Amino acid sequence: MALPTNVYRVLEAIVGSENISQEPVILDTYAFQWLAETVTGGKFFTRPEAVILPQDVEEVQAIVKACNRYGVRFKALSTGWGPWNAPGGEGVIQIDLRRMNRILDIDEKNKYAVVEPYVIFAQLQVEAMTRGLNCHIIGAGANASPLASCTSMSGMGLSGISMGYSARNPLAVEWVLPTGDILRLGSLGSGAGWFCGDGPGPSLRGIMRGAHGAMGGLGIFTKCAVKLYPWPGPPLMQIEGVSPSYAAPIPDNFRCYVLSFPNWDSFADAAYKIAEAEIGYVMGKQIGAAIAPMLMATSATEYAQIRQSGTADEIMQEFRYSFQLILAAHSLGEIEYQERAVKEILAETGGWIPSLTQDPQVQKTLFRMLIKADINSTVFRLSGSFGTSFGAETSCDAAVAHAKAGEQVKKKYIDRGLIVDDGAEWAWGAEMNEQGRYGHLEELFMYDPADSESAKGAAEFLEETSLMCKDRALGLPIFELVRGGLGPNAHDIYGPACSNYHIWQRKIKKAFDPNTASDPSFYIEP
Amino acid sequence: MALQDYRNDMQRCSRCSCCKWPPLAQIKSWRFSHVCPSMVWGNFHAYSASGRLIAGLALLEGRIDYTDKFVEIVYQCQMDGACDISCKVNRDLEPLEAMLELRARCVDDGQILPAHMLMIESLRSDDNPLGEPKAERGKWAEGLDVKDIAREKADVLYFAGCQHSFDRDLWGAARAAVTLLRMAGVDVGISGTQEACCGGRAYEIGYRGEFTKYAEHNIETWNAAGVRTVVTSCSDGYGTLKLHYPKVGKTMNFDVLHITEYLDRLITEGRLKPTKKVPLQVTYHDPCHLGRLSEPYIPWEGVESKVLGQVVIQDPPKKFRRGTNGVYEPPRNVLKSIPGLELVEMERIKEYAWCCGAGGGVKEAYPDFALWTAKERLEEAKATGAQALVTACPWCERNFRDALAQNGEKMKLYNIAELLLEAL
């Protein structure tokens, strides 16, 4: 369905001719997405009818109202990384929120920042650190948008142990509903500022994003207050070394570890104990066994040489049941206490600190990676792309069950040569959100998007693990739902096994979006 | 290499947008957190390195054809390479090389800009892309009484480059450089009117034939003259000589040094002794072609293969240029050697420095964009509190001067050689 000329003119009048385009070369850069090849067989999803760049909430509202008036669907994006950002089908315009890129306020006393959609975590973090604060950064990395994560998309990250995850961190929100009405959630709704997401004023966090977010299927979020947390480190982290081995000195009141364990069960026991001791600042399994040799390599070729020489065998074994841990304290006495607690936990669980990670330089590199969350796109380095599976929020014990299940399935695909041989292990996450209230774990895998057989294998792996989630009651396979591989009725597969949530979700969609103007493809078809 | 040789890189772009930012760990504030002028100027994703890789792929797949907008997207970019450096923190891709091939493909297919055609016509007629008469070349050195290597032998050839040769505002920098070399007892000569463009700008805007012609001519001329070292104050020229000249496959019987490297060496050896105080707080702008784009060419010919299932490797192993081996310390050392002078750094420096805006044919084709880019850098310079901005490239200096003039601003601007001369 081509966008009628008169509708284009209406949209153009809202943002100006320089901020809207129907040029194929521009449209294709929005149709192109990571993982597209596992769904469409090529690098492109459906091309949007137009791309439009609003600069404020008034323009967003006018665009959404025009879409409702003329029967056009819209899909908004912030940084636009991931298949759920792409139009789900024909007749969709893409609303790129890039021009809305300001940090509007940082309230030091009440520990929150108000951000627009195109602010990225890296920007927010450096501004927060100058004020003795920090923000939760999601697993996707510091190049992602805090607003998008808080309002619309999952949001797990390794700082979850001390900073919660993105469902917890939004406070007041400015929301352009699919109809074009503006709804201000929380304290903002009663004119009381940004300090609270749940009142005084409407509290609709569950509808707004629930556990995983509507991924652009329920309107557009234009401002969001995001919780900030204490940062007892320097106002500006000094970075040493050269790319790709940047490193950050570890302040005296911090510690940075990799902790290894003999098996998954002792791994889970230790995670619980650390959470219960309330000593973790960042904790989780960022660097799995297969990726550990990257600590010694600067390219995929070097990595392969290390693996093939056998020098990485011991390291990989040590990283198999391991997680990374950063301790942060407000005094030297406190950090010494935390350090003693870690030693006791290791003794109780049979854990140890791998020799590689006792090297101060490796520790500094890890410290930078874990605080700055800047290595996350390294998962693309070895084969060109990666995917992830499972991903429900659950207990740490159940998360470990995901890891065990993932290993079994993955081995088949490795044996067929379709994905990277990572020793059938790369459980990512295992962060103990909110000091252990619940955990999260995904099984990552790496494939080559330029190789159609590898891409097909990746799709098969995702489908198999996703169906396993239902068959073995492992929770919602969040990644498969947002990839789009199961098609528009994905939730009908899982809803009956999960309290029929899909019925409620569909009703919410109909109530909030009577014209189905907000592209439902990655949320739920009405 | 040709555009299709980068097809796998295009397909392996994840659209993570890291090419739009400095290496994420190096971001120091919201205000100066972008690294790609083209993306900030153009706003649509197509204006990023990722966008250009996607555009290249779409072209190869026949999804799209050339349009005016396509050509604008390809050329509205300084080719400053910051995207390439940020990408390579986490990836083994070659976005800048692919973008250069996309330009070469455009030229091959006749998709060219009138402003670039004028540059090429000027090259063909007068050996410079600035539209200046060849006979005027060499005037910058009048009265210096320096050797002409066409007539006399010299150990060192000072290569002025086009901008220093024809822009009278910048003659002082070239004259200062030669004066400093001679003060240190260096046996230096110039080519005068016989000097020709390095060809670097032609390479950047996609005209490979013109580039090869100048590269071969200069290498042959300098080899024949028997010079042991070619020194230049032009960072664009330096980057071209270090990175692109080796690609033409001709033996270069001479070393290539930027003037800041040579001056740093002369100061270290005690042959230049800055003693006069220059009480000034300055900040230093890293020219792209002296920094990340000056990393020496690393020849590689091989094949891509896979091990461990799907791990993509290069056979033989390939060394990736990540910008960290550019010329960063010599200019800083020179500045630090000047008594009374204090150097304060901007936020975006070295391999992730913000571009001045002049390169890649942008100043000629999109002057407003070039000036906007320079003004953004001047804002960053002012934010340091420095009284002056120092650079080591005539293209940067020209663009900064134009931006300051347009804004009516008074910030002092120095070429590093002129500043050093003040201290002697």
Reported as a single tens digit per residue, the pLDDT across A470-517 is 888 888 888 888 777 777 778 898 899 889 999 999 999 999 999 999
- With a cut of 90, say whether residue B39 has pLDDT above it: yes
DSSP string, B151-170: TS--SEEEE-HHHHHH-GGG
* A292 SS3 class: helix
Tell me which H or E stretch contains B116: helix B114-126
Q: Which of B402, B373, B400 is CA-nearest to residue B389? A: B400
Buried b (16+ CB within 10 A) or exposed e, A223-259: bbbbbbbebbbeeebebeeebbbbbbbbeebbbbbbb
Average pLDDT over residues B17-33: 98
Cα gap A253→A38, rounded to integer Å: 45
Residue A193: inside a domain, yes or no? yes
CATH number at residue A416: 3.30.70
Which pTM value belongs to this model?
0.97
- Closest to A229 measured CA to CA, from A152, A154, A281, A172: A281
Q: Choose among B7, B16, B313: nearest Cβ to A301.
A: B313
Distance separating alpha carbons of residues A225 and A206, to the nearest angstrom = 16
- Structure tokens, A126: 């450096």
A144 with A47, same domain: the answer is no
Give the C-alpha separation, A265 to A272, whole Å.
Answer: 11
Name A304's bridge partners: none
* A272 and A367 share one domain: yes
Sign of CA dihedral B276, B278, B279, B284: negative
Nearest to A505 by CA among A519, A487, A492, A486: A492
Question: CA A357 to CA A338: how far, in whole Å?
Answer: 18
pLDDT at A1: 60
pLDDT at A449: 97
A345 and A412 in a common domain: no
**Same structural domain, A387 and A442:** yes
| C-beta of residue B165 within 8 angstroms of C-beta of residue B140 | yes
Cβ contact (<8 Å) for A29 and B64? no
Mean pLDDT value across chain A:
94
The yes-or-no verdict on residue A260 having pLDDT over 70 is yes
Q: Residues A429, A311: one domain?
A: no
Counting one residue from A and one from B, how many pairs have CB atoms under 8 Å apart? 216
d(CA B244, CA B203): 8
Position A522 in a domain: no
- Name the token pair of B129: 């892309």
| Contact between chains at A368 and B25 (C-beta distance less than 8 A) | yes
Residue A398 vs residue A207, higher pLDDT: A207
How many Å separate Cα B11 from the centre of its chain? 28
Q: Give the model's pLDDT for residue A417.
A: 97
**Residue B125 DSSP symbol:** H
Q: pLDDT at position A483, please?
A: 79
Which A residues 401-430 touch B at CB under 8 Å?
A: 414, 417-421
Residue type, B175: R
Residue A487 — φ and ψ, nearest 5°? 85, -175
In eight-state DSSP terms, residue A254 is: E
Domain boundary among A356, A377, A398: A377
Q: Are A187 and A196 in contact (CB under 8 A)?
A: yes
Query: What is the chain B residue with the closest CA to A379?
Result: B90
Q: Indicate whether A240 belongs to any domain.
A: no
- Run of H or E residues at A183: strand A182-185
A112 with A77, same domain?
no
Residues A85 and A120 in one domain: no
| Residue indicated by tokens 């011991």 | A314
CATH number at residue A36: 3.30.43.10
| Residue B37 near residue B376 (C-beta atoms within 8 A) | yes
| One domain, residues A146 and A201 | yes
Can you spell out the DSSP letters for B356-391?
-S-TTTHHHH-HHHHHHHHHHHHHHHHHTT-SEEEE
Q: A400 falls in which pLDDT band (50, 70, 90)?
A: confident
Q: Dihedral of CA B377/B378/B379/B380: which sign?
A: positive
In sequence order, what DSSP letters do the residues of A327-355 get, joined into one string?
EE-SSHHHHHHHHHHHHHHHHHHT-B--G
Quickly tell me which residue has 């390439």 as its tokens: B84
CA dihedral of A362, A367, A373, A377, whole degrees rounded to 10: 0
Question: Tokens in use for A503?
Answer: 């019925």
3-state helix, strand, coil in chain A (%, to 5): 40, 20, 40
Integer Cα distance of B91 and A74 in angstroms = 32
Same domain, A266 and A288: yes
Q: How far apart are the first and last CA of chain A?
A: 20
Dump pLDDT digits (tens) for B122-159: 999 999 999 999 999 999 999 999 999 999 999 999 99
pLDDT tens digits for range B261-312: 999 999 999 999 999 999 999 999 999 999 999 999 988 999 999 999 999 9
Q: Specify the range with the lowest mean pLDDT, choosing from A170-179, A227-236, A310-319.
A: A310-319
Answer yes or no: do B57 and A32 touch at CB < 8 A.
Answer: yes
Segments making up each domain of chain B, as ranges: 1-112, 124-268
Nearest to A123 among B27, B50, B92 (CB): B27
Together in a domain, A85 and A114:
no
Compute the distance between CA of residue B353 and CA of residue A404 in angstroms, rounded to an integer. Answer: 46
Distance CA B230, CA B232 (A): 7
Residue A497 lies in a domain: no
Chain B residues whose CB is inside 8 A of the A19 CB are: 43
Select the residue of A23, A300, A447 nearest B92 (Cβ to Cβ).
A300
Of the given ranges (A392-401, B66-75, B381-390), which has the lowest mean pLDDT?
A392-401
Q: Note down the domain range covering A201.
A: 103-230
Rounded Cα distance, A427 and A123, in Å: 28
* For residues B396-416, average pLDDT: 95
CA distance B398 to A429: 51
CB B294 within 8 A of CB B242: yes
> Chain A: residue nearest B52 by CA?
A29
- Tell me if B46 and A29 make a contact (CB, 8 A cut-off): yes
How far lies A227's CA from each of A99, B47, B155, B328, in Å? 23, 33, 64, 39
Report d(CA A474, CA A479) in Å as an integer: 13
Burial of B380 (0-12, 13-18, 19+ CB in 10 A): buried
Give counts: helices (H), strands (E), chain A: 18, 17
pLDDT: which is higher, A151 or A494? A151
- Inter-chain touch A454–B16, beta carbons under 8 Å: no
pLDDT band, very low/low/confident/very high, at B222 (cuts 50, 70, 90)? very high
The 3-class SS string of B223-258 reads HHHCCCEEEECCHHHHHHHHHHHHHHCCCCCCEEEE
CATH 3.40.50 fits domain B124-268: yes
Q: For residue A424, what are the β-bridge partners? A: none
- Cβ distance A25 to B91 less than 8 Å, yes or no, reads no
The pLDDT value recorded for residue A356 is 85
CA distance A518 to chain B (A): 21
Tell me which residue in A42, A127, A419 faces B310 most closely, judged by beta carbons: A419
Residues of B in contact with A53 (CB under 8 A): 43-44
Looking at A43, A61, A96, which one is the last position of a domain?
A: A96
Residue at A502 is within a domain: no
The pLDDT assigned to A489 comes to 77
Chain A contact set for B12 (CB, 8 A): 380, 384-385, 448-450
Question: Could you tell me the CA-to-CA distances from B149 to A282, B188, B193, B227, B279 in Å, in that order?
Answer: 64, 9, 11, 9, 38
| Farthest-apart Cα atoms in chain A, separation | 71
Distance (Å) of CA A485 to CA A242, A352, A385, A463, B254: 39, 40, 16, 8, 59
Number of domains in chain A: 4
Burial A73-104 (b: 16+ CB within 10 A, else e): bbbbbbbbbbbbbbbbeebbbbbbbbbbbebe
Q: Which two tokens stand for residue B270?
A: 């005690």
Could you tell me if A122 and A223 lie in one domain? Answer: yes
Token pair belonging to B391: 């650079």
First to last CA, chain B: 48
Mean pLDDT confidence for B379-390? 98
Q: What number of residues does chain A have? A: 526
A25 and B70 in contact (C-beta within 8 Å)?
Answer: yes
Choose among A19, A239, A301: nearest Cβ to B318: A301
CA dist B206 and B247 (Å) reads: 15
Q: What is the pLDDT of residues A191-245, one digit of tens each?
A: 999 999 998 989 999 999 988 899 999 999 999 999 999 999 999 999 999 899 8
- CB burial of A453-478 (b: ≥16 within 10 Å; e: otherwise) equals ebbebbbbbbbebbebbbeeebbbbb
- Report yes or no on A512 lying in a domain: no
Ranges A362-376, A435-449, B318-332: which has the least confidence: A435-449
Q: Half-sphere exposure of B249 toward its Cβ, with a 13 Å CA cutoff?
A: 1
Q: What is the pLDDT of residues B238-275, one digit of tens each?
A: 999 999 999 999 999 999 999 999 999 999 999 999 99
Residues with Cβ within 8 Å of residue B384, at least 6 apart in sequence: B283, B344, B345, B346
Q: Is residue A241 part of a domain?
A: no
Please provide the DSSP assignment of A418-449 as one string. Answer: SS--STT--EEEEEEHHHHTEEEEEEEEEE-T
Return d(Cα B39, Cα B76) in angstroms, integer: 9
| Average pLDDT of span A32-44 | 96
DSSP codes of every residue in A358-396: GSHHHHHHHHHHHHH---GGGGGTTTSEEEEEEEEEE-H
Give the pLDDT band of residue A36 (cuts 50, 70, 90): very high
Over the stretch B101-123, which tens digit does the pLDDT of each residue have? 999 999 999 999 999 999 999 99
